[in-house]
Structure 1
Amino acid sequence: MRSTHFIPGYLPKQERRMILGRKYRQQLQDNPVTVNVADEEVNLEWLDREKDIPNRTDLFHRAIDLMASTNNWTNLPSLLTGLKHSGAKLEEKALGKTVRKAASAGRIGIIIQCLQQSSNTGLTLRHDEVLQNVLWALHSTPQLAGWANEETLLHSLKAANQIALLLETPEHNPCIKTTKNHILRPNDPRRRPEVLALFLELAAVYSWKFQAGRDSDGKVGTYTARLLSILSTSHPEARQLRGSLTPRKSGPQREMLMGVPLWHGLSLAEKILGQQAGKKEGSVSSLSTEQFELMTRVREDYESGLRLLAETLQAEKPKEGSYGEQALRWWRDCVRD
């Protein structure tokens, strides 16, 4: 991949024409040409377009599978950078697969590194597959530890904060045109329920499990208020109509994976913020009576919907490692004590 894709991608037009043009083949053999590529002296070699240049996408998948099998993801930023400079345009699903495999290996940090270098790597949260798999990874890491490992949970919280910062930049948010534009638009990813739900879930579990149920920094209250505002804006009937916010049924697996963090976060927030009910401390985490009632209604509606989806999935007997099995584990492992 380096000699057939990366180096040609870095070459000026004339040198690239030399290694790909048939009329230069003999010339390069008789009079070798050396060029400087990224501070490295490289001998130009003629390439047969039909025989010497394999499909970039196939090579990429092979490279990712090799990284996964050896659990060595150190070269991922270099791989993505090389592909971007070579002009390769990877499909969103391929990028989503990359995030998923790296996260499964406990390497969400290398993914965030690639996201922070998006101008070089091309990996961006603008791609829905990337954003969704990042969110799922931030949930799965502490969930697989039974939500009982404080260090693991703090690691996901830190990563979530980094994702939140990236979503404030034009490189990762199509709704932001400049770094000074922070107006929330209807399709802004910062307004997506699954994004806010993940942030709330992590903050709520940490407060409940490791802060004696106290919303010490006000994040549980803040994320809850934002999430409820978005839900009531997207579904204005929710303030009166009970049952209007049950998860959509486009597919049990996806609906559960989208809905569990929202229910989990709200169910714990209800307990945490309920302890503050009636107190007049001016805390940033306090909710109005109307907000608290909406939170309870949404939580109950999602709980009913998720129970039905869980029954549907259990009847299908999903295979181990499938999205269906993962969704059921997410639901089973929620903190309920």
Structure 2
Amino acid sequence: MIDQRFYTQLSPIALVDLAKQSGAQIVRGDPQILVHFVSSLRDLTAGNIAFARNKKHLTDHIPTGGVIIADRATLDVISQWPVAALQAQSSQSVFAGIANSLISSRKSKSRSDLVSKSAVLDSGVEINPGAVIGDDVHIGSGSRIGANAVIECGVEIGRNCDIGSGAHIAFTQIGNDVRLMPGVVIGGQGLGVAKGQEGLIDMPHFGVVQIADGVTIGANTTIDRGVFDTTSIGARSKIDNLVQIAHNVEIGEDCIFAAHVGISGSVRIANRVLMGGRVGVTDHRTIGNDVVITAGSAVLHDIPDGQTWSGYPAKPNRRYLREVATLSKLSQQTKKKPGN
């Protein structure tokens, strides 16, 4: 279900009209059924529509109703399911077009004043020059909004927060005692791309960002909202400058990320994880509690609790150090050979 603080549900559309609009073909289901919402495949129910990219996604999640957009290769898997189906050459690109017909992102009404009349500012809130506060924003007592910051409609900011100059916050719920340094961008659309008939198109995002109490986020860091779900930062986590956190990432409590860390989409990070500068984590990885990842490492695999990993690609630290020592010895031996 979409968060109505940030998104507006448009009128439902009959399946037959969606097929005409998108160029897809109805292969199962009543053409007159109404489609109300978009959904992930995992959460698909009657009245919603989702897409499936491959058979793996279909076998992982068996819905109880709704509409699935699929290509020819996946239709045989869903033939016994209680769902309607649209066949399309590119399920992702068709889904993107349909999604924008069913849901729109809320935008504040155009106005000359910088602080919306519908915004709620509790006692002791400080708004500095040039800051823009959108419709239905709620800012808790004692919080400070820096000069030229933009707080988009529906955003909630807790008590005693400090939002730096030039920050941009949208589709986000922020807890208490949070510090956002200048230039952070929270709640932007992540990198989701589908290949359509006319080339690459952006996948719409309908999720949110949640930042728990006591979090600090450094200057010019970016945190993308989820595609359907939530991008979340756990309590008291500390994130350095120039960090990128992609859509659907979940970060636990008391984590520390140094500058230039990059976390790809749908990564799950547990509690008390430390990442050195320039660590990169590929998508859909799971990192356990109390993990340390040293600077410059590239994480391509899941990491169990309590381990230290290093290297490119990253591996358990002792193994990495042994391999480095072995390569150093081989290099020295090669130098000692005649003619070298």
TM-score range, shorter chain: under 0.3
TM-score, normalised to structure 1, is: 0.20
Q: Which has the higher strand share?
A: 2
TM-score, normalised to structure 2, is: 0.20
